Amino acid sequence: MREWWKDGVIYQIYPRSFQDTTGTGVGDLKGIESRLDYLERLGIDAIWISPIFPSPMKDAGYDVSDYTGIDPTFGTLEDFESLTAAAHARGMKVLLDFVPSHTSDQHPWFQEARASKDSPKRDWYVWRDPGPDGGPPTNWISEFAGPAWTLDEATGQYYLHIFLTEQPSLNWRNPELRAAMYDVMRVWFDRGVDGFRVDAVENMAPDPEAGDNPPNPEWVESMGPARSHLGTNTKHLPVIFEIAREMRAVAEEYDPPRLLVGEAYGEIPQVMKYYGDALDAFQQPFNFLLIEAPWEAETLAGLIADYEAALPEGAWPNWVLGNHDRARIASRVGPAQARNAMLMLLTLRGTPTIYQGDELGMENVAIPPDRVQDPWEKNVPGQGLGRDPVRTPIAWEEAPFGGFSTVEPWLPMDLGAARIVARQEEDEASMLAFTRALLALRKETPALTRGSLEEVRAEGAVLRYTRRLGETRLEVALNTGTTPAEIDLAGALLVSTHPGAEAGGPLRPGEGRVTRAG
């Protein structure tokens, strides 16, 4: 049987910013449940919810202190079960975020591990004696700036944290730790969860024995401190692929097998390794090519072709335009190209993931210094590294705080009329209406889900490709440029970024069309 996720569309919910029902200014699980109608009408197939587990929230929930509970900010386990049942009743799958590379420093495992050098849990984390000069054991730099090692005064050893000091790295070379983490996966699968997005997998197994990381010859300051060195001894180490296969084996204990989507940023060949040599690791290693690519037809055509060519035999592709860590697509490519970006996401071959709010054309929101939440921004202020601008709440209605909350939300929000869901609902020409139309077209057009991808090319500023299934041939053309482009586009118009467009005639700047040519 064909797996649901091959034809499905995943929608990422950032729960802190979706819908607040408890007057805390932070979204919650009941809020998500109350908006399932919206998601069903949108036409997505699965929701992936960013972390909802108990957490001191030093990194917005990516610092987990109990892998199997629910943080009171978001509600209770009953709320989660209710949400899952309600989503399933609508035919929607539920994916959670699994954060295996590190815990919170408040996790009982770490508390136990740091209590003494002889603690049975000591080796569940990564400890080393100070280097020869008494400083950190290696020159590794935390993703959020500063050394990746912190001295534990009481025991005289350093512990590793690839992210914040409060996010100690787990030691996946320890078999007991592995077993405990696989049990965590089973707890959620037993509760009916359909899969996980697996966080920061490339950072799961740094090797302190291998020593310092070499400097990055291409580094410029805007890349942030962590990129000043290469990840030679910290990222994508071979043992991770073994672990990914073991995780997959856990997912395969269930019927149907649960989905694992791995978050690994890397070059194309590196990312491909996360499928596993026998396609026995992650079913979907995230493909982040479009999240950084310059918005330029020639480059996009090249990236798409390179990715398709690198896919192992039988591996299923996927595409992502944005997430809670990266600039909003509408800000990155400009509002005039946001529809084209969505058109591309939903017509390329493979499983798309939509980040909440991108269907509304949400843009980065400027955050005044006194409202900053992201620890990265706090550590390296003013360099544009902070992620708060892309995490702002959704404005649902023309109401105080956009109907998101009854109190000032945890982050400022864009209350511009054009962004409000209720306004877009009433407007057939809105980004929301366009996204819905695309999702509906995808659903009723097997060539868009199952068809081949052919003739990917740039004609000047126009990106073009063909989707073909049996006799059906669809032509996709999108003008990434700022001037009209004459193109030869055959067939009947199925969808356009511009309401009222016709199949023929030049493509306006930012205009994209899908036609049925056969």
Contacts to ligand GLC by CB under 6 A: 59, 62, 99, 163, 199-200, 263, 324-325
Name the active-site residue from 199, 263, 377, 511: 199
Q: Name the minimum Å distance from CB 512 to ligand GLC.
A: 29
Nearer to ligand GLC, 296 or 325 (CB): 325
Q: Name the minimum Å distance from CB 163 to ligand GLC.
A: 5
- Other C-beta atoms closer than 10 Å to the C-beta of 175 total 9
- CA distance from start to end of the chain: 28
Nearest to 10 by CA among 259, 279, 276: 259
Both tokens assigned to 483 = 């001037």
253 part of the active site:
yes
What residue type is 365 in one-letter code? V
Q: Name the minimum Å distance from CB 414 to ligand GLC.
A: 21
Q: Name the minimum Å distance from CB 325 to ligand GLC.
A: 5
Q: At what angle do helices 338-347 and 431-444 cross, to 10 degrees?
A: 10
Integer CA distances (angstroms), 237 to 32, 98, 244, 504, in order: 37, 19, 12, 51
How far is it, in rounded angstroms, from Cα 121 to Cα 113? 5
What residue type is 218 in one-letter code? E
- Would you list the DSSP string of 68-133? TS--TTT--HHHHHHHHHHHHHTT-EEEEEE--SB--TTSHHHHHHHH-TT-TTGGGB-EE---TT
Nearer to ligand GLC, 93 or 102 (CB): 102
Beta bridge partners of 491: none
Q: Name the minimum Å distance from CB 50 to ligand GLC.
A: 8
Nearer to ligand GLC, 388 or 475 (CB): 388
Q: Name the minimum Å distance from CB 377 to ligand GLC.
A: 12
Name the active-site residue from 253, 277, 428, 454: 253
Nearer to ligand GLC, 53 or 396 (CB): 53
Q: Name the minimum Å distance from CB 174 to ligand GLC.
A: 20
Q: Which residues contact 351 (CB under 8 A, 6 or more apart)?
A: 5, 6, 8, 9, 10, 284, 316, 317, 318, 319
How far is it, in rounded angstroms, from Cα 150 to Cα 218? 27
Nearer to ligand GLC, 98 or 401 (CB): 98
Nearer to ligand GLC, 170 or 303 (CB): 170
133 part of the active site:
no
How far is it, in rounded angstroms, from Cα 366 to Cα 364? 7
Nearer to ligand GLC, 196 or 401 (CB): 196
Nearest to 202 by CA among 177, 169, 167: 169
Q: Name the minimum Å distance from CB 59 to ligand GLC.
A: 5
Nearer to ligand GLC, 33 or 199 (CB): 199
* Pairing relationship of beta strands 46-49 and 452-459 according to DSSP bridges: unpaired
The sheet with strand 157-160 has its strands ordered as 127-128, 157-160, 149-152
How far is it, in rounded angstroms, from Cα 367 to Cα 426? 29
Closest residue to bound ligand GLC by CB: 62
Annotated catalytic residues are: 199, 253
